[in-house]
Chains A and B, each alone.
Chain A
Amino acid sequence: MKDPDDRRREFSAEHLNAFVDEQLAPEEKSRLLLSLNSNEALSREVCELRKVRDLVRLAYPEPSAVGLRDGRHGRRSGFSASALAATLATLTFGMMLGWFLHTRVADIDQVSQDNIPDATAAGRHLAGKPVVTLAATTHNPPRIILHVTESDPKQLAEMMNDLEGLLRHYKAQNQSVRVEVVTNGDGLALLRADVTPYARRIARLQEQYDNLSFVACQNTLDRLTKEKGITARLLPGVVIIDSGVAQLMRRQNQGWAYIQV
């Protein structure tokens, strides 16, 4: 004797669906009914299908009622009037919903348009706190790339101050932030152990902030080797990526803010 699972497979899914929809020929139907009595898995499956059918009917009372009630004659006209009306109504509803949602989004946008700059203005009186809180509630935690391309000591000094000021600013707001310092070209000097004036300061920042990373460009490293014969040694913890410029693109595509320092 076959085990129940095998017997369940005697009937294909189409078969069962046809049965539930009462579309089976009489002899097929009685064969299935017979199996149903002795096979629990099968009857459970049929039960499930019936439930789905009922749910579908419940959700779409109009069209199925039309389909069931109307005979061959009424069917055509019934379909074009009611179904078309239902389709159009659904479409219209969808559009209204879209329009409504859109307006709401526009409203929210307007609110932030109106409020944040004003809040920025007002906030500047109040040491700026509302600005950042508002921005924090409406946007993801800020992620910022600082792009360093120059090795001019004055610019590097200012960049380091910007970086530390930024990290301190968000820490003071108790807000999470991610900062990535991307260096390429001459900017790589910032992260080269042999030339950077900021080895200790960078080490301290890395220790202090785990939301901060320093990135060096492989292309620049290669170019240094090829053109100047320098094998640059990088500071500990520096991440090397294929191309600094590509990284800037990727990050901006991911929604990072870009700031050239």
Chain B
Amino acid sequence: MLGVVEYYEPWYVQIIKGIIIFAVGLQAVPLVLVAERKILGRFQHRYGPNRVGPFGALQPLADIVKLATKEQFRPKTSIGFLFAFAPIVSILTAVAALAIIPFGDRNDIFGTKVGFYGVDLSIGPLYLFAFGAIAFYGIMLGGWASGSKYSFLGAMRGAAQLISYEVSQGLALVGVIITAGTLSMTGIVHAQQGMWFVVPQFVGFIVFMVASFAETNRAPFDLVEADGEIVGGYNTEYGGARFASYYFSEYLNVIVVSGIATTLFLGGWLIPGIDTPGWAQPFVVMGKMSFFIFIFIWIRATLPRLRYDQLMSFGWKILLPVAMLNTLVTAIIVVVTD
């Protein structure tokens, strides 16, 4: 089973769906952006942006236009090509990670079987971690190449944080992988036919969510940016379109993590008791993703930022042992009941 993907579409189908996923994914980012600002406003008894366009719906457009038309500049101490290259790394890895989220099963479209996903890899979650590991070079290089103290501090924090939380995130997924018996993302969804993994893997789910907050540099783990302490962290010296691409990749990461959580814990396109028709599957997945995105915003509205040593001790002393224990117990149960 492992290492084998049974089915490949014709090449033109792959190109077309690549374009579709890319377009939809990128359109989702401004949506999430405006949703975050509006929902965050509601959490604080205010409206959020509501002046640009109907209900403030054109706010992200205004933001993007403003950022894109800004002058590009860099500090004298920065390292030119790396300074320009780092945001590209960030956005590239975020987009690449979007490819493995299954928005639906293989369905018939005009007689061709098309999988509603970018690629169904035999190493699904490993692909995610591979790109997650490269993504942190975006932050590292950006902060270091800026040639500024605050950027460098932010980058250092980012490096330490991402490394320590990636371990817990990975271990939290091992429980799911053991239970499902496959690394393929669609395979994992199919394995949740009877019950979503959020029930048997509840501890894993919590650990994964907490680690994901840290992985995406979101509050309460936004020490990498920490505007109250180190100005803007790794993106202090960035402006214009380069800053926009950092910003963009951050929100894209939130979408990707929500997609992964949906796939691995909330049964992807499955709804218990209902046989979801092919055309509805992407909508089910996106509905579940927006639930996670709402939780991301909710947590941001609720929790204050952790102190740096608290972050480290929480990651290594609590999250990692819990994730390890979860993996161990799952493994024992699977072996015993098999």
Question: Do these two chains really belong together in a complex?
Answer: no
Interface residues of A (CB under 8 A from B): none
Interface residues of B (CB under 8 A from A): none
